Chains A and B, each alone.
Chain A
Amino acid sequence: MKNIFVAATLTALFLTSCSSDDVNTSTPDNTGVTAPETYIFKRGGESSVSFGGQTTRILMAEEFVSALKDNTKSETDLNAMFTHVEGESDFTDTDLNASGKNIRSKVAASKDYFSANITVSNEIKADFDAWIAEQANIVFPNWTTTATSGVAGQLQQFNGGSTRYINAKGLELNQAVAKGLIGGLMADQMLNNYLSITVLDEGSNKANNTNDIVEDGKTYTSMEHKWDEAYGYLYGTELDPSFPVLGADSFLNTYLKQVDADSDFSGTANAVFEAFKLGRAAIVAKNYVVRDAQAQIIRENISKVIAVRAVHYLQSGKTKIAEGDMAAAFHQLSEGFGFIYSLQFTRKPNTNAPYFSHNDVQAYVAELMTGNGFWDVSNETLDTISEEIADRFNFSVAQAAN
């Protein structure tokens, strides 16, 4: 009898005191945690912020997506950049060549979404592999061919605009890769890996953070470092990462800026930065409820950036089709395609799920690429997808389109 009583008491206590799924009802104001003005955190007078690995991967991705527009590159060259091996001369930046990191190993590789979902992770990686292969083997050899429906090649935008290099379905594969990486690499690693309770609290991380036990030879606790690594995927190429100005890369950082520049979404960038600072301060203050609430804010806003850009580009593409500027339309639609692909890596706050599942995204991809793809995509298709995305994120197509 005593044992049962004790067990019941214990269980109840554990459920209330140890649950990692507490819904946060506090606001930053009454938590006692204060965010600093800038993302500067120190221990013993030294900075405790570190995210070199993230900066490295973003810089690798920069060189890689540039190379996707260099028709002298072979599939082997491109794959070598994507799956870089330490010491190989795949990049112009020797620091990147010396690095043991690569892009592909962190695509669709977050703990929350893919640690028990390797089959889908491999399918996603294979999509990137296939885009790279098609770019090298179909688009590059047709670099001077004029693209027509069903034929890969190039098309120039009206008024002496940019020349776009597309596959037989009108898709710029370099855009599919670049915008796909925004979700598949940056957002997935941030939202579903480093901001994940599973990762932040892994092993003894929580006890070590609570007791100020730092990593061997480092100035930070593991938990602080994980949070900083999430930060690095967004701000890692900023000139002064402690005070981001945005527009620093070709990936998430820049698209956060663009969404924030739309008056319908102004404040998004600030919300993300404030949440990162407050969450990091909460870790220092050992306040994990506040920390987790900030992770939810970041998840919601970063997910929204991807959705807004997806809808924005589908709508711009529709406009350009109406104007008859197919090169411009394909460029817009290709960016949209990449952002739609990235939707499967978004994260609905307080859930373990994206706003659009892998299967949802596969269905959109199939719909957009059916037949001759963008050459004959209908306004209805573009509008329907736009509305479905906007609905699920609670904004309007018109808000995203302008």
Chain B
Amino acid sequence: MIKKIISIFIIIASIVSCSSSDDAGSGSGNSVDGFNRQSMLTNWADNIIIPVFQDLNTQLADLVTSKNSFIAAPNQTNLEAFRASWLKAYKVWQYAEMFNIGEAEAINYYSKMNIYPTSVPEIESNIASGTYNLSHPNNQDAVGFPALDYLLYGVANNDMDILSIYTTNVNAENYKNYLSDLVNEMKTLTNSVLNNWTTIYRGQFVSSTANTATSSTNKLTNDFIFYYEKGLRANKIGIPAGVFSTNPLPKKVEAYYKSDVSKELTLVALDAVQDFFNGKAYNSNETDASFKQYLQYLNSVRNGEDLDVLINNQINLARSKVVDLNPNFTEQITTNNAEMTNAYNELQKVVVLIKVDMVQSMNISVDYVDADGD
């Protein structure tokens, strides 16, 4: 009898759920489909998101330290140490960029950390004038990791000339100040995002279990897909490969001035996406409630195959294409862009699986559309 009632309820619920996308959840940890969203939110917050921001905050503290050493003594040794801290932090950033929620969303964190290509004229004009507001939206392409990429690798043609920018150049003080302000700003922003998570936001996040457009699962699912589609697929590969333009734009790669780490950063980002999908803890190999488990719980299949398996397989296939690319994407695009677009093709196939099949299974609405019509 109870089973009958449940199944009738489910029948009604799922009929409703097919036509409407904003129905409220049950209010307990369980959403209308019975999956315990709270356990997934808890895993995301405690084992992935907060540890990622903790690590990023630590890396940025190191970056501040090596920046301070460099400014105190701009020599080759300190330059190299500074660059090493930059790359290490940039890799951890690849794990953080997708979590554009809570404080990160409120302060537009991502736009202040990783907008590229960075604008050399804006950076140089800020430095020349010595007055700037780094958190102003106009400066989003003059700050963050890409601005550092320019200042540490691209500001002059070789290391000796780069060092002279910070020593003998007439504007050396302004250059050093900008470098310092830039790094301090990144640290401050990251600190505030982390703090918000550990003090207020974590509780709100895990208790928002309903299925509305503003519920935690719905929002972060959208953030995850948006990040994958835009931050990873388009920004790292598609845009420089010319997928959205008449010609390839090889200067639009991530870390253009360092030049030989674009692939490495992309591979880290792919790991971050896959780990999040599988609910893998940031600091260990433990896995817990996740998209993967959710899809398994719903027994989601596509053409007779388990959707969670298809998604992992497709990410793996995409990774194998990226692995084959030149570490320097600019070179790859200039010499053989077809390999770049082949990698893009496999990355794109993941979009369909997560943006259509996955969200339909979980009855989550995608809250954005490609602006690509006429």
Contact = CB atoms under 8 A, between A and B. Distances in A.
B170 interface: no
Contacts of A102: 246
A174 B365 CA distance: 46
B367 A53 contact: no
B27 interface: no
Q: How many of chain A's residues touch chain B, expressed as a range?
A: 35 or more
Nearest to B349: A116
Interface in A52-87: 52-54, 56-57, 83
A207 B33 contact: no
Contacts of A9: 7, 10-11
Contact of A204 (B338, B344, B365, B370): B365
Interface string B334-374: 00011001101110110010001000110001111110011
A101 B373 CA distance: 10
B10 to A, nearest CB: 5
A53 B10 CA distance: 44
A202 B352 CA distance: 11
A263 interface: no
A204 B374 contact: no
A236 to B, nearest CB: 10
B6 interface: yes
A210 B243 CA distance: 33
B3 interface: yes
A207 B21 contact: yes
A198 interface: yes
Contacts of A119: 338, 341-342, 345
B6 A122 contact: no
Q: Main SS of the interface on chain A?
A: helix
B19 A210 contact: yes
Nearest to A106: B374
Contacts of B367: 203-204
A15 B19 CA distance: 14
B200 interface: no
A229 B374 contact: yes
Interface string B135-158: 000000000000000000000000
Interface string B243-255: 1001000000000
Contacts of B34: 3, 6-7, 10
A10 B14 contact: yes
Interface stretch (B85-93, B276-284, B296-304): B296-304
Given A7-B297, A18-B360, A116 B342 contact: no
Interface in A293-340: none
A225 interface: yes
B232 interface: no
B6 A204 contact: no
Given A115-B348, A116-B345, A204-B21, A225 B246 contact: no
B241 interface: yes
A51 B374 contact: yes
A202 B225 CA distance: 14
Contacts of B344: 118
B348 A54 contact: no
A222 interface: yes
A57 B374 CA distance: 10
Contact of B356 (A56, A122, A198, A204): A198
B147 to A, nearest CB: 29
B218 to A, nearest CB: 12
A8 B300 CA distance: 10
Contacts of B21: 204, 207
Contacts of B300: 11
A119 B369 CA distance: 24
B298 A117 contact: no
A8 B301 CA distance: 12
Given A116-B345, A119-B341, A204-B21, A6 B366 contact: no
A2 B3 contact: yes
A9 B6 CA distance: 10
Contacts of B3: 2, 5
A30 interface: no
B20 interface: yes
B159 to A, nearest CB: 37
A83 B246 CA distance: 7
Given A11-B298, A226-B373, A229-B373, A6 B10 contact: yes
B7 A207 contact: no
A202 B298 contact: no
A54 B373 CA distance: 10
Given A14-B14, A202-B369, A222-B369, A101 B374 contact: yes
Given A9-B11, A83-B246, 16 more contacts: A3-B297, A6-B34, A9-B7, A13-B14, A17-B15, A104-B246, A115-B348, A116-B348, A118-B345, A119-B345, A202-B366, A202-B369, A204-B367, A207-B19, A207-B22, A210-B19
9 contacts: A8-B299, A10-B10, A13-B14, A18-B18, A18-B360, A52-B374, A104-B246, A119-B341, A198-B352
Interface of A: 2-3, 5-11, 13-15, 17-18, 51-54, 56-57, 83, 101-102, 104-105, 115-119, 122, 198, 202-205, 207, 210, 222, 225-226, 229, 232
